[in-house]
A and B are shown apart, each in its own frame.
Chain A
Amino acid sequence: MKKLILALFLMGTFYVQAQSITAWTEENGTLGLGYPVPIPVDTTEAFDGFRTYAGLFAKHQSLVMNNPYITGQIMGQTRDQRDFWTYVLSDADNTTKYGVIEGAMLINGTVHAREWQSPELLTGIMELLDANSQDQSLHQFLLENTTIIVSPVNNIDGFLQTQRYPTENWYSSQVGPRDGRMRRKNMLDVDEDLQTQPDFLFGVDLNRNNSPYWATSSRSSFDVNSIVYHGAASQSEPETLAKVNAATLVDAEQIRIFTDVHSFTQVHFSVRTNIQNRNILQANLLQDFTNHHRAFPAGKNYVDSPSGPNNGIGATDEYFAETYEVPSWTLEIEPTGNGGLDYGGFGRNGHDGFILPESEIRRVREQLSQTFMTVWYKQAGPPSVTQIRIIDKLTGIVVYDASWDIQADGSRDLYTHVFENLQPDKDYSLIIAFDKPMRHRNNNDEIVHLQGQSGYSLNPNINATINGQAIDINPSASSWLNQKSQNVTSYKYYKDDTFKLDFSIPSDVVLDENSQIQWSIDVDDMMGQKLDGNPQTVITWNNGQWQNYEDSSGEMSIFGGTDNSYFVPIRINSLNSFEPMIQPSGLYYDPARSGEGFSYELLSNGNSVWIQWFTYDAQGEQRWFSGVGEYSANTIIVNSLTHAHGGMFGDEFNSANIVFEDFGSLEIIFNGGEALNPPVGSHTVARTAQVLFTDTNGNKLRTNLSQLSFVKGAVNQPADPLATIQEPVGLITGSWYDQTRSGEGYIIEILEDNRAILVWYTYDLAGNLMWLIDSNGMVTAQGNDITLDFNEVQVTDGGVFGSNFDASAVNLTPWGEVHFQLGCQGAGTINYTSVLDGFGNGQYNITKLTNPMLLSFVCDD
């Protein structure tokens, strides 16, 4: 009886053929989900739910306003004339920290309006990079060494339509749910009123509107009512043109990867082309993606389901695969094909997979964002060695330095310099820097495999040979470096981009006058990519694969190998009469570049050094750069050399307007020395130095330094504080400034021959950087009061920054006179009178800023 009643009931409740507006519900029903129907919340903030388009858009724009790494561009309009925005996440230049053109990662979202997972993920990616933009690790690396191009919402009109009707759509069991919450297509010939039935099936499927396979498949349609209507022509839709246009924000050869983010099915729909290596690399990359993501506790597995070559459906990813020959795929975000059932839903309608429960979106957003970081890290390029240094462990002396320097033609040259021979039976540290962060750390700061990776050794495999014979280098301690400092055992740019290995060379090793150790380095980056076997040729992506990515034999490959490029002399004896060591404070210059130079002061507290570089810009105008670094053994390292803006000569000067900007980094490494004959006061040894300046774009400038000034009593290690010398004038050497005019100052040196040198670093009348110099100052001491008269102060011009510097082009022009009245306690006045128009004369009260390391001078009693 019970069954009969049911049957009678069913007779009256069978199919309703007509389309009607039907609501998705939490409870059981025609479109019952089994979980709450998400309603977009008008907020900018990520939460357990979905944001309105206005909220997402405002979030994107606020990131643009507040994070200098994020910029926005309008790349086109939609059918309804809304602006299509693309966001670029990168630093201002298009080169890496290592001087190489950046690879670009493209990601496009919300081609299909109803797939709300997509804009949340793309916004999540932006939020993740924003939040970690100063992490000195993976995210900052990506921002500074790649260009990430994010187009969060392609089908804006359609997306807004789905959010206008977040619970409703037209529905019949035959056609399925359409328009409203289930709108897929754009809004061509569609009004925004769901109630108007004639137009609800219209619109173009933006994932069928693309070349080269537009209208070539039965899986797209000429029928304007079809869910896969391909439009009137290839790229007929403004949304299609806009997303294609987004790729023009970078040069075509920069593009390394493209993802079109959809939902659902939890699958990679990748596109194969006719380049097999590309297909192999793409498959590997997607496997890495899957492995990483599956390692999260939720264990979501994304399967690669490739299509092509030579056919397609007019999808977006096909355009990018064929046009740029890069890994390109449609990412179908979870759920699986089971739809909402994956989350305990009712499985009433197969379209419920488009409606991810609110409770899942935070996890999806955050964890997929992290996974994207890893594949972009991989597509940033395989790793290569950038620098090798060997340090004498006992003394801290850098004995060997090798570095790959980028050249104007895009190749690299291996710079090498021997400061001291390697010698048997001594302990050394080998420092190897790479061009990306190489390792991942867990929450306990321990080096571990990146989740989903396991197939590589966490430490590099480093071997040494002499004349082809392997030698035991007795490796002891080793570590990846994750502490930043201004000394030689620091990471280079990012945490764990540098590896340190302590070793010693056996005493019984057989050597001759030509013996060299050849180093072989075998290491994978955190995604398991091996080293570039030959860093001389810079790796690029072209024609569907990595180019110049040599294996261990130096042959072209797509998987890299061991780098065997480094040969270091080893001898029984030392190379030098005096060991390599920093020289005392003073002025230094490259004899081949007379007309520019450095001043540095080894400060008496700690290991700080205050350094100034007096040079020129590319147009021959004066420039000065300054920084505080650290010194140890034979090195001076300044991580950030800055240049100032906003100053003005004379009364117009306002400290509040001064802004310092990073200009690059500086390293000075001193060679071993020869006896200075005859000695000059406290100066007994002459040493030269190798200088490396690296700008923020990775461009390098190398020069040499020789000592120019012999500062009275200057020493390169702390003097005996008890051995005081009552000579007040000795205390004048150092930097001075007017406390009300912070941002300009005076370097004064009292020399061993009782002359004085002045370098006044300031600004000209137009606010440009200017420095004035006089090396013939007259010193008059009366007890503790010192008078300095600089009657031949000059200004220079004509030099050119960098490798094109020509000393003969430097002009010296008389500027005027400067007179100081200084007390040995560190206070005094400056008076100046210029002979040049506009500078006039003036007087300031000044105080001593620095105390360079000198003999223990004291004032008169």
Chain B
Amino acid sequence: MVRFKLCLLLLVFLACSTSAKLYSQAEIDVVTNSEVALKSNKNFVNDFFTAKDPQVFIENFINSNEKSNDFLKIEYKLFTLLEEISYQPKQDFLQEFVAVMKEYQQKAKKMHTEGRLAVPVYQLNSKARGIENIWLADTSFNKYQILLNKNPVETLLRLKNTLSDLSQPEWLGLKKSINDVTIDNHIKISDFLLQDYSNMQGLDKFVSHYALMTNNQNLTSIAINNLDLSSREYLLRKLSAYFAADFTIQQLLQAIEINKSKALAVTLLQPYMDKENVQLFLIESLKDKQIASQAAFVLSHSKHEDTILKLEKIYSTSQSSQQRQQIVFILKLNQQSISKQILKRLKIKDETSKNWLVKFNRSIK
């Protein structure tokens, strides 16, 4: 194995001394779309996996092609091999090859689509690194599947200090492992998190996903009030995908009331805007400078003529210029013909709205 690495690294070094070659898109297409190349690549991959000694096979392949300068075909083959490896579990012989490909000096270049910058035709380095990430996610999944079932509280206590340092693949593995936690351990995790709000500290991202994946209403309610901004917002915008409408509405209204991601929460009420209590809240919010535009945006999605006519009535009687202005905003954004008719007959009282309407002579489709 050591010999293999040394030899390949030497080859990589030798390849460094050869300058890269720039290929046109037409040249690339010829190779990429060639049946011969496809067949050859297929054979190459099979030869690698069936080789008595894959290390020697690769060594020989690179050795024999090193002087050909046909970098496009060489790297296409290597790329194809990496593509196949990306579906395989981590194994020593694959791992070694991938490690070398991470440092391989790519010679087949093409011009970047937008500018004068030579970029690899086949992203061998990032492909190889990506494979390591795939394997890392698998490893992480296996690790946390065991840990969360073996000693969930201790695992969470350790995660409080390490969660923010987890790489994306490690986090992906951890997240996936939640699905495999037993009911008993779910109870332990939930109890731990709910026992004291301070237990959530450092676990924000975990809690936001955990609460949703386990449909834990109690934890969700408390988490909205205690998580950091990113995790709270994630939780809020995913509520409707995991919980029933009533609970979702309740949580969104609660977030608005306690001023936690208030403006975002208002816009997330959109699927429920025809519910009486939500609609009343939104119409009243048109007077609140902090969230008036957001409430207007939600109401502008209304497909009900009754709602639009109601807004027209409110416009005529409202003493709040803020509310009147936002109703004009709704009517302009709303796609129904009734809104356009109302705008024509409405006597616009506010200068801001008037000026804005002059410019806004057509709305989006």
Interface positions of A (Cβ within 8 A of B): 3-4, 6-7, 10-11, 13-15, 26-28, 32, 34-35, 41-45, 47-49, 53-55, 57-59, 61-62, 64-66, 71-74, 80-83, 156, 174, 207, 218-219, 227-228, 262, 265, 267, 269, 305-307, 313, 315, 330, 332, 337-339, 341, 343-348, 350, 357, 359, 362
Contact = CB atoms under 8 A, between A and B. Distances in A.
Contacts of B120: 337
Contact of A34 (B123, B172, B353, B360): B172
Given A344-B171, A346-B86, 19 more contacts: A3-B50, A3-B54, A6-B49, A28-B86, A32-B134, A43-B267, A44-B297, A45-B267, A48-B233, A66-B293, A74-B361, A81-B365, A174-B33, A262-B114, A332-B115, A338-B129, A343-B168, A347-B123, A347-B126
Contact of A55 (B111, B267, B356): B267
A35 B168 contact: yes
The DSSP consensus for interface residues of chain B is helix
B162 interface: no
A45 B356 contact: no
Given A43-B268, A347-B126, A7 B115 contact: no
Contacts of A71: 359
A70 B145 CA distance: 53
Nearest to B333: A58
A574 B230 CA distance: 67
Contact of A65 (B116, B119, B131, B353): B353
B84 interface: yes
Contacts of A315: 114
Interface stretch (B2-10, B38-46, B189-197, B211-219): B38-46
Nearest to B176: A27
12 contacts: A14-B45, A26-B172, A44-B297, A45-B294, A59-B293, A62-B296, A66-B352, A262-B114, A267-B112, A339-B126, A341-B129, A347-B127
Contacts of A73: 359
B5 to A, nearest CB: 20
Contacts of B332: 61
Interface of B: 24-26, 32-33, 38, 42, 45-46, 49-50, 54, 84, 86-88, 111-117, 119-120, 123, 125-131, 133-134, 137, 167-169, 171-172, 176, 230, 233-234, 237, 261, 263-264, 267-268, 270, 293-294, 296-297, 300-301, 325, 329, 332-333, 352-353, 356, 359-365
Nearest to B130: A347
A55 B270 CA distance: 12
Nearest to A358: B234
A786 B300 CA distance: 64
B264 A45 contact: yes
B297 A55 contact: yes
Contacts of B360: 61, 72
A344 B167 contact: yes
Given A58-B300, A346-B134, A269 B117 contact: yes
B264 A43 contact: yes
Shortest beta-carbon contacts, A-B, top 8? A347-B130, A344-B168, A269-B115, A62-B293, A43-B267, A307-B116, A338-B126, A347-B126
Nearest to B87: A28
B69 to A, nearest CB: 22
Contacts of B112: 265, 267, 269, 305, 337
A516 B133 CA distance: 73
A4 B54 CA distance: 12
A7 B333 CA distance: 58
Contacts of B32: 174
A701 B99 CA distance: 74
A71 B129 CA distance: 47
B346 to A, nearest CB: 16
A188 B145 CA distance: 50
B123 A7 contact: no
A305 B86 contact: no
A555 B113 CA distance: 43
A17 B293 CA distance: 49
A321 B189 CA distance: 60
Contacts of A337: 112, 119-120, 123, 126
Contacts of A47: 233, 237, 261, 264
Contacts of B24: 218
B129 A44 contact: no
Contacts of B42: 14-15
Given A42-B267, A344-B167, A83 B117 contact: no
B365 A82 contact: yes
Given A48-B230, A315-B114, A74 B359 contact: yes
Given A34-B133, A72-B360, A346-B133, A330 B352 contact: no
Contacts of A305: 112, 115-117
B133 A341 contact: yes
Contacts of B49: 3, 6-7, 10
Nearest to A62: B293
A681 B161 CA distance: 82
A15 B233 CA distance: 41
A80 B365 contact: yes
Contacts of A344: 133, 167-169, 171
Given A45-B267, A345-B133, A35 B172 contact: yes
A64 B116 contact: no
Given A219-B113, A344-B133, A344-B169, A350 B264 contact: no
A813 to B, nearest CB: 34
**Residue of A4, A42, A228 with highest tally of chain B CB at under 10 A:** A42
Nearest to A313: B114
A41 B25 CA distance: 37
B237 A41 contact: yes
Nearest to A71: B359
A357 B205 CA distance: 15
A59 B264 CA distance: 12
A45 B87 contact: no
Contact of B115 (A10, A43, A218, A307): A307
A183 to B, nearest CB: 15
A59 to B, nearest CB: 8
Given A44-B294, A72-B359, A269 B329 contact: no
B234 A48 contact: yes
A54 B117 CA distance: 35
User: Which of B111, B123, B133, B325 neighbours the largest number of chain A CB atoms within 10 Å of its CB?
Assistant: B133
Contacts of B87: 13, 28
A201 to B, nearest CB: 14
Contacts of B129: 338, 341, 347
A346 B131 CA distance: 6
Contacts of A357: 168
B278 to A, nearest CB: 15
Contacts of B131: 346-347
A339 B261 CA distance: 31
A338 B365 contact: no
Contacts of A66: 293, 352
A6 B117 contact: no
A424 B214 CA distance: 82
A207 B113 CA distance: 10
A72 B261 CA distance: 28
A49 B111 CA distance: 31
B50 A269 contact: no
A19 to B, nearest CB: 13
A348 B137 CA distance: 14
Contacts of A44: 263, 267, 293-294, 297
